[in-house]
Amino acid sequence: MLMLVLLLVEDEEAFDILYCIAFQLMDAQWLAMDASYMQFKEVLEATRIQLGRELALDDVRRIQDLPAYNLLYK
């Protein structure tokens, strides 16, 4: 959690970028799960877990180090 705070403090655009990453990650999860609107809660939970895992990685020092950052440029 401390690392997330540091990421957000050090880069003034980090929150905006993180929001975009989360949205793209949710879209990717939605498509991978072939979800319907009835599965929104499951997709949201899977997205939360995945984003949490990525934020917990030891080698993430800035928002651009997140593996899902690449989703912004597909």
Task: Read off the pLDDT of residues 22-64 as tens digits, 9 standing for 90 and up.
Answer: 999 999 999 999 999 999 999 999 999 999 999 888 888 888 8
Mapped onto helix, strand or coil, the DSSP state of residue 16 is: helix
Cα-based distances in Å from 17 to 1, 36, 63, 69: 17, 26, 8, 8
Tokens, residue 18? 């993180």
Q: Is 48 helix (H, G, I), strand (E, B) or coil?
A: helix
Q: Is 72 helix (H, G, I), strand (E, B) or coil?
A: helix
Q: What is the pLDDT of residue 73?
A: 86
This prediction's pTM: 0.82
Instruction: Quote the DSSP letter at residue 61.
Output: -
Range of the domain at 53: 2-73
Q: How many domains does the chain have?
A: 1
Residue that is written with structure tokens 């593996």 in the block? 67
C-alpha–C-alpha distance, residues 69 and 74, integer Å: 10
